[in-house]
Structure 1
Amino acid sequence: MESKNNNLVLGFVLLARDVKTAFLLLVSIVSRSAVRSSSFLRSCVWDIELSKEINESFRQSSQARIKLPSGIEMSVHVLTTGYWPTYPPMDVRLPHELNVYQDIFKEFYLSKYSGRRLMWQNSLGHCVLKVDFPKGKKELAVSLFQTVVLMLFNDAQKLSFLDIKESTGIEDKELRRTLQSLACGKVRVLQKLPKGRDVEDDDSFIFNEGFTAPLYRLKVNAIQMKETVEENTSTTERAFQDRQYQLSYLFQQEN
């Protein structure tokens, strides 16, 4: 039963603004539903609270103050394996700067919790990049994979799909989806050559120097790839199972 409550836990934690609110929601969930794994949910709440404390301690640490470059803000959600949904590992070759930032946090974390092991979930990472376009500076809220691709254009004006694949090590399907979001979506910070919706092996990409937008901060949304028949069937089955354990709540907060 607990393994099927993961989506419930995620929604429950995201709704909570602090640990006190989370526990109030916990009481409501346990009392109004068939969920009996209150200790499991409580562990998730404490996991989030501990992660907040770890990040606050990291920001005040000598590792962060001395080794992180000025202007760089870093936050890491440290969650316990077994409390949360599992994700298949996705490899990516990080730029040197990002590897350094990870190593700085790892050094800090292991100095406090020796004997533990950190496993980075690359598919869940996200960044805010400051980009100096010729027509104006922008901040881009992007995924880690989008970040890795965009940083390649610090040193190159034009790159082929195969060049990007070789440099990043991102899995083929995920890379095509990432490039579509950057060159074919609403926020086109890259240009695809030749034009078209699908990303082919012989396509090339260039930095969009003519990019403009009215807003200073922009979010580059991911693009959902078309599913195969097998994937669509699997998604439908998971959605059906999730509905059996879905709980909906409506909250009003007085200002």
Structure 2
Amino acid sequence: MEGMVTDLTLARENQNHFQEYLSNNPAASPGIDLTVTVLTTGFWPSYKSSDLCLPVEMCVEVFKEFYQTKTKHRKLTWIYSLGTCNINGKFDSKTIELILGTYQAAALLLFNSSDRLSYSEIKSQLNLADDDLVRLLQSLSCAKYKILIKEPSNRTVSSSDHFEFNSKFTDRMRRIRVPLPPVDERKKVVEDVDKDRRYAIDACIVRIMKSRKVLPHQQLVLECVEQLSRMFKPDFKAIKKRIEDLITRDYLERDKENPNLFKYLA
């Protein structure tokens, strides 16, 4: 917590120094109002980073150049999924300020130089994974605010779709926030935890059998539960399933005369 508070204080100082840097180097100005919060890996939750190719209008390299004048020993990793962008959408009826995520803004800015783009063209220009691209295109063409027109006109995004800027779009508000569809984070976390626990159970079983060589089923399960209970409460069915999996992978074998007796295979 102390590291997080210190990070936020230093981030504000960094931003002030960045503004001074731009004032003293007008040629370096990115042409947009850019605010960057630099945080220390380890103090904060980890997030997926991507090699998003930003359109020319979203120049962030100037901050990297500024930061390198302050330190040579730190590497910046851009977490675009946490960014927000305010851009002006110039529609036929009026200009509307759009509050978007970085991915959404990057996709929309591609239409400054193209009237119509296919799914594959957007993907190659942004260098995004399909999961991320489908989410952002759904938010822009299938949700409440249809900033893009999708062909064919249905509720799902596929790799054969084409997109155009919807110049006829209008809204009673002059400023709107376009949300991204939520990711089922809870499901993903549960899957990751289950995977980690499978590895932990496998390692525990192998460790016990390597030292004991031969053990009956009941004793192996009990020793496994005892060791793993320091980390989590293991499920007996999960342990049994992992034992069967290790048998198929030739880490263990059943005794031919007593099927409840397991032997370690070196």
**Given the two structures, how large is their TM-score scaled by the length of structure 1?**
0.70
Q: Which amino acid aligns with 1:132?
A: K
Structure 2 residue runs without a partner (length 5+): 195-266
Give the share of equivalent positions with the same residue, in percent: 35
Give me the whole-angstrom Cα distance separating, in 2, the residues matched to 1:105 and 1:64: 14
Give 2:74's aligned residue: 116
Q: Which residue in the other structure is 1:178 paired with?
A: 136
Shift of the alpha carbon at 1:187? Answer: 1.4
- In structure 2, which of residues 29, 38, 41 is the aligned counterpart of residue 68 of structure 1? 29
Please identify runs of 4+ aligned residues in structure 1 that moved more than 3 A: 62-65, 229-233
Corresponding residue for residue 246 of structure 1: none
- Confirm or deny: 8 A CA contact 1:194 1:204 kept in the other structure: yes
Shift of 1:155: 1.2
In structure 2, C-alpha distance between the alignment counterparts of 1:209 and 1:226, rounded to whole Å? 32
The residue type equivalent to 1:43 in the other structure is G
Q: Which amino acid aligns with 1:220?
A: V
> How far 1:60 moved relative to its partner?
1.8
Relative to the length of structure 2, the TM-score reads 0.67
Unaligned stretches of 5+ residues in structure 1: 1-40, 238-255
Match of 1:139 among 70, 84, 97: 97
Q: 1:80 to 1:236 in 2, by over 3 A?
A: closer
Change over 3 Å in CA distance of 1:64–1:160 after alignment to 2: farther
Distance in structure 2 (CA, Å) of the matches to 1:193 and 1:140: 23
Three-state SS of the structure 1 residue aligned to 2:60 is helix
* 2:175 counterpart of 1:217: yes
For 1:163, what is the secondary structure of its paired residue? helix
Distance change >3 Å, CA 131–CA 49, structure 1 → 2: same
SS in 2 for 1:202: coil
1:230 is displaced (CA, Å) by 6.7
Label 1:141 to 1:64 Cα distance change in 2 as closer, same or farther (>3 A).
farther
- Residue aligning to 1:234: 191
Q: Per-residue displacement from partner, 1:123-174 (whole Å, max 9, x unpaired)?
A: 2222111121111001111111101110111111111111111211110011
* Cα root mean square deviation, aligned: 2.3
User: What whole-Å deviation, never above 9, does each CA across 1:4-23 have from its counterpart, x for those lacking one?
Assistant: xxxxxxxxxxxxxxxxxxxx
Of residues 156, 159, 163 in structure 1, which corresponds to 2:121? 163
Does the C-alpha gap of structure 1 residues 194 and 226 become closer, same or farther in structure 2, counting only changes over 3 Å? Answer: farther
Over 3 Å counting, the alpha-carbon distance change for 1:118 and 1:225 in structure 2 is closer
Structure 1 residue 104 corresponds to structure 2 residue 62: yes
